[in-house]
Amino acid sequence: MPETQQVAVKRPELHFTAKKNWINDPNGLFFDGKQYHLYFQHNPNGVGHGFMSWGHAVSTDLVNWTELPIAILHGDVADIFSGSIVVDHENTSGFGNGSVPPVIAIYTAAAKDETNQSQAIAYSLDGGATFTKYEQNPILDRGSKDFRDPKVIRYESAEGSFWVMVAVEAIERRVLIYRSENLKDWTELSSFGPQAATAGIWECPDLFQLPVAGTDELKWVLIVSLNPGGIAGGSGSQYFVGEFDGTSFNPDQEQDAWDSLEFETLKQGRWLDYGRDFYAGVSFHGLPVNQQTIIAWMSNWDYARELPHGGWRGSMSTARQVDLVKDSDGKLEIRQCILGLPTAEETEQSTVNGEGRIELGSPALIELTTAGAVAEPVVVSLHRSDDTLISEISVESSLIQHRREAGLVSHELYSSNQRLPLPTDIDELLVQIVLDHGSIEILAADGRRSLTDQLTGEAVPAYAVVRTADGTTANVGVQTLRIQSTEINA
């Protein structure tokens, strides 16, 4: 669909969108003790991908966002691609003025002629509102066209603290690990990959610690996004659990590289999300390990450039707090919990044995519970007020499927059926369905599985129909989620 074709697209209430123009990857997420900062890939000049700069928004609750002016604007020779932010409390960089610690943005300077991608930094002395680019950029240049997406963390060891960067050589499907004392001079330490899903280029790595639920143990997690080759087709995000010693990342489970687009091959990996629209998810700097939180871009490179728009294009996922739990085989997997959802005044409860209708029309949380093995699928169909179908969720004992109709989207890859394999160790299955204008997010098995899909251009469904087979009962709870209107999501 041409960039100039504009239609009425209702803004979400529970998800960030920019006031106007294009957005994609979240960048530089950090918490300053009072506010959450979300930077993001942004085109200040239009609804297509180009002139990439860092937009900026802040929030105190991860739902109501206030958009601020552009933080880092593209230049004449380079765009500002994805990266991260750290607060340099010890002023290792020397950019501080003695009164406030500098906020340092580490980003990819992507040559506009596509001949080079190198890493650069900019610093802020006003809490991340405005940035000054370092005069001696780039800080790291391999002479590569596909070296990008730096994520920087502070690593604490018995010998002292230092900065660690993970970035990708995208075409090579490798994560490169670097060390620095001052954020300016970097030494390569090791690399990881290719492993697991490699059918697409690797992008947007992240490295952080997570607690193992019910223990005092901490483990390291490495997220790698790739495009194409995601579990649902197009772009997606996989992760690895292991150990990091300050030099190299070693996964608990070594995996061969799967240059495959087949679901049966890909489902053996670890995926952050099984839907079409959860990409480039990264974590917040400045949060304690037991509050680690991620946000992703809620779209897919298969069709992102051609979706209908209302003068703005692109949105973020909900914020999700993450930790680790053990599966039935003793392997660790990420568990997610959606944060920031407004508290509903009350929950409407019902039991469905056959067919039941749920009135919607506003953002809502549907909680569906089934006990024991489900002989026949429990089906939740989402409808417009004219009774036409938007999408349909099918819940079985071993699998959840989400079938998305084309709706307003003419792109041949948009209409699709996503599959979410469930853990085998579940006695009672709770499925949480978050509905907002333009999206659906499904969490199941206590957050051990998630599936995120856009419902582009759609308002929240007018109603849902829940259907069960004879002898199957589903308990259904519905909460209407209302938030105060904001400058962005008005």
Counting every residue written for the chain, the total comes to 490
Q: Rounded CA gap, 337 and 414, in Å? A: 27
Is 25 catalytic? The answer is: yes
Sheet holding 218-227, edge to edge: 201-211, 218-227, 236-244, 249-251
305: left (phi over 0), alpha (psi -120 to 50) or beta: alpha
The type of residue at 245 is D
Rounded to whole angstroms, what are the CA distances from 105 to 72, 122, 130, 146, 268?
9, 5, 11, 20, 36
Largest Cα–Cα distance in the chain? Answer: 71
Nearest CA among 88, 89, 79 for reference residue 43: 79
Q: Is the alpha carbon torsion for 114, 169, 24, 455 positive or negative?
A: positive
At 291, give phi and psi (nearest 5°).
-125, 20
Residue with the two structure tokens 């993001």: 40
Task: Please give the DSSP secondary-structure letter assigned to residue 386.
Answer: T
- Let me know: does 222 contact 194? Beta carbons within 8 Å: no
Strand order in the sheet with 312-313: 66-72, 53-59, 36-42, 21-31, 312-313
CA distance 224 to 324: 17
Specify whether the CB–CB gap between 119 and 23 falls below 8 A. Answer: no
Q: What is the DSSP string of 295-358?
A: EEE---TTTGGGS-BSSEE--BPPPEEEEEEE-TTS-EEEEEEE--PPPPS--EEEEESSEEEE
d(CA 252, CA 248): 13
Contact 70, 54 (CB under 8 A): yes
The radius of gyration of the chain's CA atoms, rounded to the nearest angstrom, is: 22
Active-site option among 25, 79, 88, 206: 25
Catalytic residues: 25
